[in-house]
Structure 1
């Protein structure tokens, strides 16, 4: 399918999604589960007295013993009228949780609802160390310290604002990228979604994602940013169970030595706008392009879409939250249909 055809069809899908946005979502089931993780023994720590409530009686707390750690939280929504050939797994980026795909910071429907309305069974997760997955002691279990972000950091680093110094507490004084699609009025709500992250838990996260796939079965993975490394490496570990990969501005890639394992998995990479204006993203984009070339050289199929080149402009790194998020989702939906991944 040509890029023009993808964009044209995406526009039709977006209009349809808008027209039906008020319709109720019919589910045959919904629920959640934790998956993955391991047991860890801690010894040699002093016993403490802890008062859990003001004015309460102190209780002795012995930190020595066995702990359950490195599990992942998954919430699933199964539509009444299923049209996706396989479940769609949504994996978030660094310092974020599954909220990434839920209601946008300015109150519009996110990609979770979009794809659910299109008939996909959707599994949305909080990865190891995030949100409802919980986190473990450090440095006893998680090595190193968590990384916290200032209010300005995502604005300047996610190509919402025009580089360093573009953030201001006053929305009217912020220097947005020209034609930016990010909902500036909802930025404070976006910052409230940010959670601490570690840089030392990748192996645990990959193990938990593999456990999710082993539980769910054959699936399609849509992953964003930091999860680029996770998505590709998990697919390399379970190539028989991953039926398609959708990489939304992947910040990392898989193992180049195992690239042949991806040759039978159709892959879509999507990049937003302003990449050439950023200090880091040209290199990140080049790394993704090189990995796509390596998959193709191994006999695989990879479609790389730079949104501005197909007429979709103004998208930040958080394109699933941008004002035109339904248009971008429509492009992905069209690609999935073109790969025969929807039911007749």
Structure 2
């Protein structure tokens, strides 16, 4: 606990130095993304389902069998795709998407450059990509839910802080190529069933039970699910959370007041102290991008993130007060500007990857 502030300063300084030494700017990054790269050397890859439930219906008539027979439905599992590079580092990285997304989040960026999947494979990390239960390739659900078809692309453009439709934020690290925006909108997917916090996090707890120790990397909605996983999966050795948006757990009886915003209040959730304390045993990095107002703002697409950043800082203090190692980074404060709600796929995602790599190295996680 005593070394937390010093460690945070060292992380910020080391990350800034790495970014400066790289000498990268938006134009150079975009050009580099199209350049020929060395082959990726993959030792093993594959996919599997983990977690989930089975529903059995008795007495269903099967036309190919004599008399009634029991039919089953396997659903509510997570889908995992993995790649292990040659000479992999000991701890794999487990990447979890946000709301309305699936594993595509971590693959190729909307403008066609390498995403964090390949960036970290090149840095010798094994990579596991999650499609959470009832989403993407894990769409088999045991509970039906209507899938909405109301047009809403422009709402997400605002909420993800690309800009305020149809205008881009000044200096935003997002390609102005219309095809990049087309690809961005097309990476959204529906949920096939209702959201269930425990069912969803239990699947990822089961994943760590299967693969052993690793580092969990979350985004937005999965940030809250990541805290639940960290409280119940001993194999989670560290967490990197990009723009967590909800379900910050505080010890029972110690919840802060909800934080108001023009998009609605951000509310903490309660956790037993024994579970909360599990989060004090691991290093945690929280990263937020740009275009987050410092004061209440009538624009709900931005103001909700002001409230979430404020809640993240309260949560950091609650964990660190009990001996934890939580660092919250607001990228503009360290000179990295223009990032949206998806810093890991923005034009400067190599700089953002350097911040994450600096944390992993400092905490001996990779």
Same fold (TM over 0.5): yes
Q: Does 1:233 align with 2:228?
A: yes
Kindly provide the CA deviation profile for residues 166-213 of structure 1, in whole angstroms up to 9, marking residues without a partner as x.
Answer: 2xxxxxxx3111111122320111111111125533222111111111
Aligned position for 1:158: 160
The residue that corresponds to 1:176 in the other structure is 168
- TM-score normalised per structure 1: 0.84
Alpha-carbon offset, residue 13 of structure 1:
5.5
Matched, 1:33 2:48: yes
> Structure 1 residue 114: deviation in Å?
0.4
**Aligned positions of 1:39-188 closer than 5 A:** 39-42=54-57, 65-82=71-88, 84-136=89-141, 141-142=143-144, 144-146=145-147, 150-162=152-164, 166=165, 174-185=166-177, 186-188=180-182
Q: Does the 8 Å contact 1:146/1:199 carry over to 2?
A: no
**After alignment, is 152-161 or 108-117 more displaced?**
152-161
Output the CA distance in 1 between the equivalents of 2:11 and 2:353. Answer: 17
In structure 2, the partner of 1:54 is: none
Aligned pairs (5 A) from 1:293-312? 293-312=317-336
Which ranges in structure 1 are unaligned for 5 or more consecutive residues? 50-61, 167-173
Cα distance in 2 for partners of 1:219, 1:265 equals 11
Q: Write out per-residue CA displacement over residues 280-308 of structure 1, whole angstroms, 9 at most, x where no aligned residue.
A: 11111111111111110110111111000
Structure 1 residues 246 and 13 mapped into 2: Cα distance closer, same or farther (>3 Å)? farther
1:323 aligns with 2:347: yes
| TM-score computed with the length of structure 2 as normaliser | 0.79
Q: Which moved more, 1:149-158 or 1:311-320?
A: 149-158
Unaligned runs of at least 5 residues, structure 2:
1-9, 252-274
Pairing partner for 1:208 from 198, 203, 213: 203
Distance 2:48 2:351 in 1: 31
Q: How big is the shift at 1:21?
A: 6.4
Instruction: Tell me what 1:169 maps to.
Output: none
CA contact (8 A) 1:222 1:247 kept: yes
| Matched residues, number | 313
Give, in whole Å, the separation in 2 of the partners of 1:150 and 1:279.
19
State the shift of 1:155 in Å.
Answer: 0.5
- Quote the Cα distance in structure 1 between the aligned partners of 2:22 and 2:45: 25
Could you say if the C-alpha distance between residues 306 and 10 of structure 1 is closer, same or farther in structure 2, counting changes exceeding 3 Å?
same
Shift of 1:256: 1.5
Paired position in structure 1 for 2:262: none
Root mean square deviation, CA, Å: 2.6
CA distance in 2, matches of 1:10, 1:23: 22
- 1:275 alignment partner, SS class: coil
The range that moved more, 249-258 or 292-301, is 249-258
Change in Cα spacing, 1:117 to 1:41, as seen in structure 2 (3 Å) is same
Per mean C-alpha deviation after superposition, the further-off stretch among 189-198 and 98-107 is 189-198
C-alpha deviation, 1:5, in angstroms: 2.2
Contact 1:181 1:322 (C-alpha < 8 Å) held by counterparts? yes
Q: Which residue of 2 aligns with 1:261?
A: 278
Question: Quick check: 2:83–2:127 contact (8 Å CA) kept in 1?
Answer: yes
Give the C-alpha shift of residue 253 in structure 1: 3.9
SS in 2 for 1:256: strand
Check conservation: 1:252, 1:288, Cα contact below 8 A.
no
SS in structure 2 opposite 1:227? helix
Residues of 2 paired with 1:134 and 1:44: CA distance?
26
* Shift in Å, 1:325: 0.8
